[in-house]
């Protein structure tokens, strides 16, 4: 059988892999392919998300400097791109709520972080409960941090448009191609096709850690999969609140998100998510506690078994399962700050998505994105929210890293692109 050969092979046709293929195909003369096991781009996390364009006020400017910068820069990149291609965009704003004095101190910290991350003074405003009430009469809280810059869009459609432009630049997308074997600089695909590459970039989302381990990398890490479920509110009750509402996380060291009220760009309003442990990164429906427990139990034989000895973590897991089984349980979480909602207002499930956080050998959840590099590969692991927001700029950063290291060579005759690469890099 004929062997496919590429200079650069990218695993994963999600928003990050597609963005990276776009930059490399636009800025170099290298042959580029994207290997995607589904039959289209953005099949999983890149479409199964809230669609929120996040401003980086809640990101630690020391620990998450790179993704915070990427999110800040990418707001304008996505805005221009959405307008150019007539893709839905809704300026919603976001209010991060504090429900008590302790959480208010967190908002004060977020306000400082937001300014350190580059947000303008008029982008963020710390409001007391009365000021929140004036803006959103149906919201009850101690205080809130209002970010007027947040918006909602459709990342799946944005990725589809970017795919078309990358393809025009010469990128070859190999759809319905699952990797069966990978060794050195050769891989075998599910159709029996062999592929050789000079350099590999792993952007496989929930599968990225397993792919890295196939090449002997990142062996000290483990992962778990958490499904975030939502309920959609019926009309006319969606008008109760017109702004995205988030709440300060009560357990920030764990991936158990506190409830949101989300205004989607297509007009839907959803509440959620919970964080239900599931057996794999595509288990979007059903609740198999036995399979989930089996996945968790795998950690006992790995380096992250300390997590299983954490009684607080196990207690939180049981509560998350309850919220999946009981709609009322989920609604009651939101009633804490929007008292007027009722279970009868929700009859349709929203869009479920899955996050795959990485666990260290100490049994702790890794907060930062992990970039693991070898002589012939780069692996992007633990690329979670605000990953979709930051994808255009973050992928540009990665491309520049590869240029600087000499792994790939930037062409002097770059193809026209929708974004100004040099301007993005200069902002660093």
Beta bridge partners of 338: none
* Contacts of residue 226, Cβ cutoff 8 Å, sequence gap at least 6: 255, 275, 276, 277, 278, 320, 354, 355, 356, 357
CATH of 1-53+65-74+155-221+366-428, one of 1.10.10.10, 3.90.1150.10, 3.50.50.60, 3.40.50.2300: 3.50.50.60
Per-residue pLDDT at 313: 79
Q: What is the torsional sign of CA 277, 238, 391, 428?
A: negative
Can you read off the two tokens belonging to residue 320? 């998350």
Backbone φ/ψ region at 286: left (φ over 0), alpha (ψ -120 to 50), beta: left
Is residue 311 pLDDT above 90, yes or no? no
Bridge partner list, 199: 8
pLDDT in tens, 151-172: 999 999 999 999 999 999 999 9
Phi and psi torsions of 186, nearest 5°: -135, 145
Helix (H) or strand (E) holding 194: strand 194-202
- How far is Cα 325 from Cα 329, in angstroms, rounded to an integer? 8
Using pLDDT thresholds of 50, 70 and 90, give the confidence band for residue 310. confident
What does the domain layout of the chain look like in residue ranges?
Answer: 1-53+65-74+155-221+366-428
Q: Which pLDDT belongs to residue 277?
A: 85
Name which of 305-319, 330-344, 356-370 the model is least confident about. Answer: 305-319
Closest CA to 139 of 105, 102, 95: 95
pTM, rounded to two decimals: 0.94
**194 alpha-carbon distance from chain centroid:** 31
Residue-level pLDDT at 88: 97
Percentage of the chain exceeding pLDDT 70: 93
Q: What local confidence, expressed as pLDDT, does residue 427 receive?
A: 86
pLDDT band at 287 (very low <50, low <70, confident <90, very high): low
β-partners of residue 380 are 371
* Token digits of residue 332: 């009651």
- Chain centre to alpha carbon of residue 221: 19
Question: Given a cut of 70, is residue 376 above it in pLDDT?
Answer: yes
Minimal CA–CA distance to 279: which of 306, 303, 297?
A: 297
How confident is the model over 274-288, as a mean pLDDT? 83
Task: Say which residue, 79 or 259, is predicted with more confidence.
Answer: 79
SS3 (DSSP) at 292: helix
- CA-wise closest residue to 205 among 25, 426, 42: 42
The phi, psi pair for 96, rounded to 5°, reads -90, 120
Q: What mean pLDDT value characterizes the chain? A: 92
**Under a CB-based contact definition with an 8 Å cutoff, are residues 123 and 23 in contact?**
no
CA atoms within 13 A on the CB side of 243: 24
pLDDT at 315 over 80: no
Residues with Cβ within 8 Å of residue 32, at least 6 apart in sequence: 6, 7, 8, 9, 10, 21, 24, 25, 170, 171, 172
Q: What is the pLDDT of residues 95-138, one digit of tens each?
A: 999 999 999 999 999 999 999 999 999 999 999 999 999 999 99
Do residues 269 and 327 lie in contact, with contact meaning Cβ atoms separated by under 8 Å? Answer: no
| Nearest by Cα to 402 from 12, 33, 73, 28 | 28
90 Cβ neighbours under 8 A, 6+ residues apart: 151, 152, 153, 263, 264, 265
CA torsion through residues 11, 14, 20, 22, sign: positive
Cα-to-chain-centroid distance, residue 243: 21
């Amino acid at each position: 059988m004929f062997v496919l050969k590429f200079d650069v092979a990218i695993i994963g046709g999600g928003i990050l892999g597609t963005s990276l293929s776009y930059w490399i195909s636009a800025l170099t003369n290298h042959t580029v392919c994207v290997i995607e096991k589904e039959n289209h781009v953005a099949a999983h996390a890149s479409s199964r998300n809230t669609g929120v364009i996040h401003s980086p006020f809640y990101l630690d400017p020391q620990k998450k400097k790179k993704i915070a910068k990427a999110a800040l820069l990418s707001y304008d990149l996505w805005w221009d791109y959405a307008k150019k291609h007539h893709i839905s965009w809704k300026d919603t704003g976001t209010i991060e709520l504090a429900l008590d004095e302790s959480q208010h101190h967190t908002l004060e910290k977020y306000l400082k972080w937001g300014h350190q991350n580059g947000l303008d003074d008029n982008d963020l405003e710390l409001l007391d409960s009365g000021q929140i009430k004036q803006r959103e009469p149906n919201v009850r809280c101690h205080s809130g941090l209002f970010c007027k810059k947040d918006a909602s869009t459709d990342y799946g459609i944005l990725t589809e448009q970017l795919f078309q432009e990358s393809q025009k630049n010469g990128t070859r997308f190999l759809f319905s191609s699952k990797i069966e074997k990978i060794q050195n600089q050769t891989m075998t695909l599910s159709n029996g096709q062999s592929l050789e590459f000079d350099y590999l970039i792993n952007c496989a989302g929930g599968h990225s850690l397993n792919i890295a381990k196939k090449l002997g990398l990142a062996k000290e890490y483990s992962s778990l999969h958490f499904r975030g479920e939502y309920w959609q509110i019926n009309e006319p009750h969606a008008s109760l609140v017109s702004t995205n509402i988030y709440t300060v996380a009560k357990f920030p060291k764990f991936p158990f998100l506190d409830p949101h009220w989300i205004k989607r760009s297509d007009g839907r309003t959803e509440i959620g998510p919970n964080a239900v442990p599931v057996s794999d990164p595509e288990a979007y429906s059903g609740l198999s506690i036995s399979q989930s427990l089996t996945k968790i139990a795998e950690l006992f034989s790995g380096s992250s078994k300390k997590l299983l000895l954490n009684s607080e973590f196990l207690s939180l897991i049981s509560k998350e399962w309850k919220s999946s089984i009981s709609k009322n349980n989920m609604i009651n979480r939101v009633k804490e700050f929007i008292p007027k909602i009722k279970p009868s207002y929700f009859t349709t499930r929203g869009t479920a998505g899955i996050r795959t956080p990485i666990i260290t050998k100490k049994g702790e959840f890794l907060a930062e994105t992990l970039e693991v590099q070898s002589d012939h590969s780069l692996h992007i692991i633990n690329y979670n929210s605000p990953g979709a927001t930051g994808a255009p700029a973050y992928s540009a950063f990665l491309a520049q890293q590869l240029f600087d290291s000499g792994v790939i060579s930037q062409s002097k005759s770059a193809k026209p692109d929708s974004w100004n690469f040099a301007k993005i890099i200069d902002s660093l």
